[in-house]
Amino acid sequence: MKPTYRSFFGLQKEPFGSDLPIEEILLTTELGDVRERFDYVLRIGGIGLLTGEIGSGKSTALRYAAGKLHPAEYYSLYVTATTGSILELYRQILTELGIEQCSSSKAMLTRLIRQGILELVEGKKMKTALIIDEASLLRMEVFCELHTICQFDKDSKPYLPLILAGQGSLIDKLCYKSSAPLASRIICRAHLQGLDKEGMAQYLLHHLRLAGVKKPLFDESATTAIHQGSGGLLRKANHLARGALMAAAAEKCATVSAEHVRIAATEVF
Ligand SMILES: Nc1ncnc2c1ncn2[C@@H]1O[C@H](COP(=O)(O)OP(=O)(O)OP(=O)(O)O)[C@@H](O)[C@H]1O
Ligand SMILES: [Mg+2]
């Protein structure tokens, strides 16, 4: 696991990293679709849904869409959900609003959230967005009443648009009758699937370029193996691609083949 493979291939940094600045995120069609829906939810108010398999690029897509908002115009609140109670979620939202509060009163916490949002929207003339990532982790009891924090002036003012992102089980939770008030406010949804083979070839090239290498290091068989081994899912593709580069460098092969991907696959899940 030594970084010597980097000098072997002339890579200027660790390739296939997760810390991409917004401008280095690959603009796929799916990402464009997510951004379009994200902007629609913010314009109209209401709720948008983003689902996808593990490692399909949901958080990156949220980061991309939120990163494109003008900071002087938008105040976005980004929360990573937990399996905790709704009180914990409310406290997370308050932290995003810059308010630390340890009260256990639901009424008090919702009142503070409302005040914070009103201050932003009516006081500072800003637009807001609440983004809840990993929302599939939320308890059913949270789904029952989450819509209430988005209600302003007797549910007539869409001051707090909401984006929910998570795995497919999020849809199952929204299909319960008790989640109907929340589900009825959803105005659009997007689902991220794995990339197809052509998309994967472009994805691999993109990450190599970001690491300073312009030529394609993966041969056709390696691209197919990464595509098949990852199911087109990006995090797994990252791990397979990086591992395969290391395996190829260890054998002093200038091109990565399917056999190197197979070696890498023995180390990852
Ligand atoms: N559009 C993109 N351009 C470049 N790299 C990407 C893109 N989307 C995702 N990635 C890469 O794939 C990795 C996994 O993406 P991400 O963490 O967004 O997936 P996720 O669907 O949120 O996963 P999880 O289900 O575990 O939350 C990222 O760390 C990043 O390296
Ligand atoms: Mg994620």
Mutate to test the pocket of ligand 1, among 14, 235, 236 (most ligand atoms within 8 A of CB): 235
**Residue 44 maps to a domain:** yes
pLDDT value, residue 101: 87
Contact 29, 210 (CB under 8 A): no
**Residue 20 maps to a domain:** no
Same domain, 120 and 241: no
Q: Are strands 186-192 and 127-133 parallel, antiparallel or unpaired?
A: unpaired
Domain end residue (candidates: 192, 208, 230): 192
Domain end residue (candidates: 163, 192, 221): 192
Report which secondary-structure segment, H or E, holds 177: none
CA 20 – CA 204 distance, rounded (Å): 14
Spell out which residues line ligand 1, taking CB within 6 angstroms. Answer: 18, 20, 25-26, 28, 31, 52, 54-60, 234-235, 238
Contact 46, 186 (CB under 8 A): yes
Same domain, 83 and 182: yes
Residue 176 identity (one-letter amino acid): Y
Same domain, 242 and 143: no
Reply yes or no on whether the pLDDT at 25 is more than 80: yes
Same domain, 56 and 93: yes
pLDDT value, residue 16: 97
Lowest mean pLDDT among 52-56, 125-129, 152-156, 215-219: 152-156
Same domain, 220 and 251: yes
Reply yes or no on whether the pLDDT at 2 is more than 80: no
For ligand 1, the distance from its centroid to the CA atom of residue 193, given in whole angstroms, is: 12
Reply yes or no on whether the pLDDT at 3 is more than 80: no
Domain end residue (candidates: 166, 192, 218): 192
Largest distance between two CA atoms of the chain: 68
Q: Whose CA is nearest to atom 8 of ligand 1?
A: 57
pLDDT value, residue 102: 84
Residue range 25-52: average pLDDT? 97
Q: Are strands 186-192 and 47-52 parallel, antiparallel or unpaired?
A: parallel
| 81-83-85-91 Cα dihedral, nearest 10 degrees | -30
Atom of ligand 1 nearest to the CA of 27: 1
For ligand 1, the distance from its centroid to the CA atom of residue 111, given in whole angstroms, is: 35
Same domain, 261 and 129: no
The CATH number assigned to the domain holding 54 equals 3.40.50.300
Same domain, 246 and 170: no
Same domain, 234 and 104: no
Q: What is the pLDDT of residues 166-219, one digit of tens each?
A: 999 999 999 999 999 999 999 999 999 999 999 999 999 999 999 999 999 999
Number of domains in the chain: 2
Query: What is the DSSP annotation of 54-70?
Result: TTSSHHHHHHHHHHTS-
Binned at pLDDT 50, 70 and 90, residue 155 comes out as confident
Reply yes or no on whether the pLDDT at 240 is more than 80: yes
Q: What is the pTM of this model?
A: 0.96
- Token duo for residue 250: 């260890």
Domain that holds residue 119: 29-192
Binned at pLDDT 50, 70 and 90, residue 12 comes out as very high
**Residue 156 maps to a domain:** yes
The CATH number assigned to the domain holding 199 equals 1.10.8.60
**Residue 226 maps to a domain:** yes
**Residue 256 maps to a domain:** yes
Reply yes or no on whether the pLDDT at 1 is more than 90: no
Residues near 32 by beta carbon (within 8 Å), at least 6 away in sequence: none
Q: What are the CA-CA distances from residue 208 to residues 55, 204, 213, 242 (Å)?
A: 19, 6, 5, 10
pLDDT value, residue 214: 94
Mutate to test the pocket of ligand 1, among 16, 30, 59 (most ligand atoms within 8 A of CB): 59
Q: What is the pLDDT of residues 87-139, one digit of tens each?
A: 999 999 999 999 998 889 999 999 999 999 999 999 999 999 999 999 999 99
Contact 64, 35 (CB under 8 A): yes
pLDDT value, residue 230: 98
Q: Whose CA is nearest to atom 23 of ligand 1?
A: 55
Residues in the chain: 269
For ligand 1, the distance from its centroid to the CA atom of residue 18, given in whole angstroms, is: 7
Q: What is the pLDDT of residues 57-98, one digit of tens each?
A: 999 999 999 999 999 999 999 999 999 999 999 999 999 999
Same domain, 219 and 249: yes
Same domain, 48 and 129: yes
Reply yes or no on whether the pLDDT at 254 is more than 80: yes
Angle subtended by helix axes 234-250 and 258-265, to nearest 10: 110
CA 187 – CA 34 distance, rounded (Å): 13
